[in-house]
Chains A and B, each alone.
Chain A
Amino acid sequence: MILQPSSRLSIGFGIGLALRRQHSRPAEHVALQASRHDEATNISAPAKHSPQNSRVAHMNMANAVHSALEAAMELEPKSCVFGEDVAFGGVFRCTVGLQSRFGKNRCFNTPLSEQGIVGFGIGLAAMGWKAICEIQFADYIYPAFDQMVNEAAKYRYRSGGMYNVGGLTLRAPYGAVGHGGAYHSQSPESFFCHVPGLKVVIPSSPMEAKGLLLASIFEPDPVVFFEPKMMYRTSAEDVPTGSFTIPLGKARVISTGQDITLVGWGQQVVVLMEAAKLAKQEGVSCEIIDLRTLQPWDRETVIASVEKTGRLLVSHEAPLTGGFGAELVAEVTKKAFTSLLSPPVRVCGMDTPFPLVLESIYLPSALRVLEAIKSSVLY
Chain B
Amino acid sequence: MGNIWGCLAPWHRSSLPAGLPHCNTPRSLLQINDSLITTYRDHCHNLTRGGSVFDTMSELFGRATGTTRGIGGSMHMYNKAENFYGGNGIVGSGIPNGAGIAFAHKYRMEPNVCVTMYGDGAANQGQKYEALNLAALWELPCIFVCENNHYGMGTAEWRAAKSSQFFTRGDYIPGIKADGMDVLAVKQVTQFAKQYALDKGPIILELDTYRYHGHSMSDPGSTYRTRDEINVMRQSRDPIDRVKKLLLEAGVPPEDIKKTEKDMKKEVDDAIAEAKKAPEPPLTWMWRNVYANPASCTLRDVGGRYVTPVHDSHYKDLQQIA
Please give the residue numbers on chain A whose beta carbons come within 8 Å of chain B beta carbons, in ascending order: 1-5, 10, 84-85, 88-89, 91, 109-113, 115-116, 139-140, 143, 181-183, 320-321, 345-353, 355-358, 361-365, 368, 371-372
Contact = CB atoms under 8 A, between A and B. Distances in A.
A274 to B, nearest CB: 15
A2 B308 contact: yes
Nearest to B120: A112
Nearest to B68: A356
B251 interface: no
Contact of A115 (B126, B152, B160, B309): B126
A112 B125 contact: yes
B225 to A, nearest CB: 11
Interface of B: 62, 70-76, 89-92, 121-122, 124-127, 152-155, 159-161, 218-219, 223-224, 280-281, 283-287, 290, 299-305, 307-310
Contacts of A183: 75, 89-90
Given A3-B305, A355-B71, A357-B70, A113 B125 contact: yes
A181 B284 contact: no
Given A3-B301, A362-B302, A363-B302, 15 more contacts: A1-B307, A10-B283, A84-B155, A112-B92, A112-B121, A143-B125, A181-B75, A321-B300, A349-B302, A351-B300, A351-B301, A352-B299, A357-B71, A362-B286, A368-B302
A350 B89 CA distance: 21
A179 to B, nearest CB: 9
Contact of B154 (A10, A85, A115, A182): A85
Given A111-B124, A350-B301, A352-B286, A85 B281 contact: no
**Majority DSSP secondary structure for residues of A touching B:** loop
Given A113-B125, A352-B286, A371 B90 contact: no
B283 A356 contact: no
14 contacts: A2-B284, A2-B308, A2-B309, A85-B154, A88-B224, A109-B159, A113-B126, A181-B75, A320-B300, A321-B300, A347-B302, A350-B300, A358-B281, A368-B302
B62 A356 contact: yes
B299 A356 contact: no
A182 B290 CA distance: 13
Contacts of A182: 73, 75-76, 89
Interface core residue of A110, A181, A321, A348 (most chain B CB under 10 Å): A181
A91 B303 contact: no
A5 B302 CA distance: 11
B287 A2 contact: yes
Contacts, number: 132
A329 to B, nearest CB: 11
A353 B124 contact: no
Nearest to A349: B302
Contacts of B223: 88-89
A167 B126 CA distance: 25
A2 B309 CA distance: 6
A361 B92 CA distance: 30
B90 A140 contact: yes
Interface pairs A-B: 4 shortest CB-CB: A357-B62, A111-B124, A183-B89, A351-B299
A84 B91 CA distance: 13
A353 to B, nearest CB: 7
A351 B91 contact: no
B89 A111 contact: no
A181 B75 CA distance: 9
B308 A1 contact: yes
A345 B304 contact: yes
B304 A2 contact: no
Contacts of B155: 84-85, 109, 111-112
Nearest to B73: A356
Contacts of B300: 320-321, 350-351
A181 B73 contact: yes
Given A113-B125, A320-B300, A358-B281, A3 B307 contact: yes
A356 B76 CA distance: 11
A245 to B, nearest CB: 32
B310 A111 contact: no
Contacts of B89: 139, 181-183
B49 to A, nearest CB: 21
B131 to A, nearest CB: 14
B126 A353 contact: no
Contact of B218 (A91, A111, A181): A91
A256 to B, nearest CB: 25
A140 B304 CA distance: 28
Contacts of B304: 320, 345-347
Nearest to A351: B299
A4 B283 contact: yes
Given A355-B286, A362-B286, A143 B126 contact: yes
User: Which has the most chain B C-beta neighbours within 10 Å: A88, A111, A321, A361?
Assistant: A111
A335 B125 CA distance: 46
A90 to B, nearest CB: 9
- Best-buried of A3, A181, A350, A365 by chain B (most CB within 10 Å): A3
